[in-house]
Amino acid sequence: MANINKQKDFKTWYAHWSKKLNLDPDPNHWRHFYDYKAAHKANAEPKYNKEDKKFHWDSKFKSDFHPNRFVFDKGKWLDSKYNKNVSFSNVLAWEEKRQNMLLSIVNR
């Protein structure tokens, strides 16, 4: 598929991907954990993963509260958004902030 970003504005671009990936039509929906505007601006497209049969956006577009931002890889914790190792205490602190953020949204 030709890169559709050059041809379409953000609204049209997002409508295409939300339909194709079965995402909420609102790019700012609280359940989205990606910065779709940044992905559009960077002319990014998700890549298909044959193992899990899903499309995945580049980790650099993850929001700070993406559930898989921190992953345990090769005996170390990795911040996948910034591609750097972090301490377990940083992961725990992040998880507490993430849970509080989600609770505040649900309790609105």
64-77 pLDDT tens trace: 889 999 999 899 99
% of the chain surpassing 90 pLDDT: 75
Q: What's the rounded Cα separation, in Å, for the pair 47 and 30?
A: 23
Instruction: Using a cut of 0.85, tell me whether the model's pTM lies above it.
Output: no
16 and 57 part of one domain: yes
19 and 54 part of one domain: yes
Read off the amino acid at residue 70.
F
9 and 51 part of one domain: yes
SS (H, E, C) 68-105: CCEEEECCEEEECCCCEEECHHHHHHHHHHHHHHHHHH
**Which residues sit opposite 102 in a β-bridge?**
none
54 and 8 part of one domain: yes
50 and 76 part of one domain: no
Provide the domain count of the chain: 2
Domain of residue 25 covers: 4-61
56 and 74 part of one domain: no
* Helix (H), strand (E) at residue 55: strand 54-56
What's the pLDDT band for 54 if we cut at 50, 70, 90? very high
Read off the amino acid at residue 75.
G
